[in-house]
């Protein structure tokens, strides 16, 4: 049992996910553990003119499971994915479809997004310039702004507690999970819908990342393109998706007889203060975030069994993270498993931390570490760390660290512990 200094204990009671491996948690987890890839040629727009023409798309995504036809038209694809993942998480947690009374007042939402309504923004700017301002949709601004996934989620489910979005690029939903944990600890909510969403598979977004030389151009081998920690990596693969975790104050969960998956034990947030896109040397900013999270949890680096790595498959980011993990765990490295879920689903940007956290909770619950795909030549920075190459590993897991880092040098670290009752 973890010790949480100066606050109430926070547990995970529900999970929801929309990923390139499936639009629900069972599909996502089953295919992730099986070592399947959800990456393929871009179909959402004509990518023939781009150097990077692959992505992690959610095939046959059906927003009608959470929205009616009018709501679908009035919400960006990112918000739609947020609502679908929240609906699944609410059902999984045994919460009512519509909250009321004290439960409503003490339930909040932190739904992160790094970019907001990307598709809406791109489409409506083009409409304004080509067809004129009179053709711009009156729903343009509400559909595009980054706080709307949180706002619409609160409206849809009647959650009246703290409600906002965290935007810190690819650390956004890591921060959403951590800040939700803090909100519950200090007593401002008993339940939080915490997570992130992103729908960045759009021409201008992909073109922008491609111009930065950040994306893989392994277009003829999409399933082999995302290869975190592999010496032959050539960039990340952009992806869409959403992840939601129901965080709940422990005694509140017990009173209503909720199933408890895991405990959120600690959270750390730091800045590199170094560069807009390059991580600080040695990953020291990420190390400081992890140390803060472990301190809040009353745990030591040697207690870590699993690291869910940020691991995007970039030249500088991957070895820097490995160096940081080794610095953190020291001589304990040989006992630490590392997994990189982006090898299977691509990089969901602002949703990445939450999507990874869903998989991490499942890993703790099932005692299985998902594989890191396409890892044939491990980066030498790995040292003695077990990067879980190619196939899943069954092992006893108790404590896990979830990393999420963003452009601008923004770092989040969340510590999760298996629930032992």
Active site residue 295: no
The angle at the Cα of 279, spanning 224 to 32, to the nearest 5 degrees, equals 30
| Strands, E assignment, 225-359 | 241-249, 262-271, 306-308, 337-339
d(CA 299, CA 255): 27
Q: Which residue has the tokens 């007889």?
A: 257
Given 175, 197, 265, 310, the catalytic residue: 310
CA dihedral 156→161→162→163, nearest 10 degrees, is: 10
Taking the alpha carbons of 105, 111, 403, 396 in that order, is the dihedral positive or negative?
positive
Return the closest-CA partner of residue 325 out of 305, 345, 343: 305
Looking from the CA of 27 toward its CB, the CA atoms found within 13 Å total 17
User: What are the tokens at 187?
Assistant: 């007593």
Active site residue 170: yes
The angle at the Cα of 313, spanning 299 to 49, to the nearest 5 degrees, equals 145
d(CA 412, CA 406): 9
Return the closest-CA partner of residue 282 out of 267, 272, 296, 293: 272
H helix count then E strand count, the chain: 14, 14
CB under 8 Å to 179, separation ≥6 — which residues? 110, 166, 267
3-state secondary structure of 196: strand
Active site residue 347: yes
Given 86, 170, 197, 265, the catalytic residue: 170
Return the closest-CA partner of residue 118 out of 36, 24, 203: 203
d(CA 411, CA 285): 7
Given 175, 197, 252, 347, the catalytic residue: 347
Return the closest-CA partner of residue 92 out of 155, 29, 16: 16
Residues taking part in catalysis: 170, 310, 347
């Amino acid at each position: 049992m973890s010790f949480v200094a100066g606050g109430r204990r926070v547990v995970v009671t529900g999970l929801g996910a929309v990923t390139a491996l499936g639009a629900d948690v069972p599909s996502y987890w089953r295919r992730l553990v099986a070592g399947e890839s959800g990456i393929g040629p871009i179909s959402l727009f004509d990518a023939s003119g781009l150097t990077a023409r692959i992505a992690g798309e959610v095939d046959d995504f059906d927003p009608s499971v959470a929205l009616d036809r009018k709501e679908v038209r009035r919400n960006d694809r990112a918000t739609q994915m947020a609502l679908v993942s929240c609906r699944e998480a609410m059902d999984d947690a045994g919460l009512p479809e519509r909250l009321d009374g004290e439960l409503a007042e003490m339930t909040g939402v932190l739904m992160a997004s790094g970019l907001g309504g990307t598709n809406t923004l791109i489409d409506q700017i083009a409409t304004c310039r080509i067809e004129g301002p009179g053709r711009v949709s009156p729903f343009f601004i509400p559909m595009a702004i980054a706080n709307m996934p949180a706002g619409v989620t609160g409206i849809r489910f009647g959650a009246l507690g703290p409600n906002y979005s965290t935007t810190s690029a690819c650390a956004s939903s890591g921060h959403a999970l951590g800040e939700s944990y803090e909100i519950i600890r200090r007593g401002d909510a008993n339940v939080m819908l915490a997570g992130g969403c992103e729908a960045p598979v759009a021409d201008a977004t992909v073109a922008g990342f491609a111009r930065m030389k950040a994306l893989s151009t392994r277009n003829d081998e999409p399933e082999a393109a995302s290869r975190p920690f592999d010496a032959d990596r050539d960039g990340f693969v952009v992806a869409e998706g959403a992840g939601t975790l129901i965080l709940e104050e422990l005694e509140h969960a017990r009173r209503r007889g909720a199933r408890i998956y895991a405990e959120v034990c600690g959270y750390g947030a730091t800045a590199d203060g170094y560069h807009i896109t390059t991580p600080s040397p040695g990953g020291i900013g990420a190390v400081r975030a992890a140390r803060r999270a472990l301190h809040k949890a009353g745990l030591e680096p040697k207690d870590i069994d699993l690291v869910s790595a940020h691991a995007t498959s970039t030249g500088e980011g991957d070895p820097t993270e490995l160096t940081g993990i080794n610095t953190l765990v020291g001589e304990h490295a040989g006992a630490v498993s590392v997994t990189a879920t982006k090898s299977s689903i691509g990089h969901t940007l602002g949703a990445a931390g939450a999507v990874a956290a869903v998989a991490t909770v499942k890993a703790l619950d099932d005692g299985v570490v998902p594989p890191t795909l396409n890892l044939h030549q491990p980066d030498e920075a790995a040292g003695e760390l077990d990067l879980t190459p190619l196939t899943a590993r069954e092992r006893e897991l108790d404590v896990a660290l979830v990393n999420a880092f963003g452009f601008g040098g923004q770092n989040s670290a969340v510590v999760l512990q298996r629930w032992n009752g």
